[in-house]
């Protein structure tokens, strides 16, 4: 069974068990593969190596997004820092806002 077949089986299982997180990740991998396959000039074979590259690129992209998200100060205890939505809720236009 190739990687594409395994992805399809996992996708069906995620739908059946209503596992939304797994379903979203699997759909995104399939979407990334579809974008690459339909790109102009694409001539590579769609095999296990292709899906390994797609999955590796997706994992790298998600790790980068996680690092960028974690690197932002989100009002986690530093004095004078609070998320912008809390300042808006309190009506503080002049408070120190972190975005």
User: 29-72: per-residue pLDDT in tens?
Assistant: 999 999 999 999 988 888 999 999 999 999 999 999 888 887 77
Q: Is the pLDDT of residue 99 over 80?
A: no
At CA 62, angle to CA 41 and CA 43, rounded to 5? 15
Q: Is residue 16 included in any domain, yes or no?
A: yes
Contacts of 35 (CB under 8 A, 6+ apart): none
What b-and-e string marks burial along 2-37, b requiring 16 or more CB atoms within 10 Å of the CB?
ebeeebeebbeebeeeeeeeebebbeebbebbeeee
Q: How many independent structural domains does the chain possess?
A: 1
Would the pLDDT of 21 be above 80? Answer: yes
Domain around 19:
3-72
Model confidence at 28: pLDDT above 70: yes
Is residue 25 one of the residues assigned to a domain?
Answer: yes
Q: How far apart are CA 4 and CA 1, in angstroms?
A: 8
């Amino acid at each position: 069974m190739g990687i594409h077949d395994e992805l399809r089986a996992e996708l069906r299982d995620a739908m059946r068990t209503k596992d939304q997180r797994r379903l979203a990740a699997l759909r995104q991998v399939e979407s990334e593969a579809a974008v690459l396959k339909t790109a102009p000039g694409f001539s590579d074979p769609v095999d296990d190596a292709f899906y390994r590259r797609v999955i590796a690129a997706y994992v790298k992209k998600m790790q980068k997004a996680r690092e960028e998200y974690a690197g932002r100060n989100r009002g986690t205890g530093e004095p004078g820092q609070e998320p912008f939505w809390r300042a808006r809720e309190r009506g503080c236009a002049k408070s120190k806002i972190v975005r």
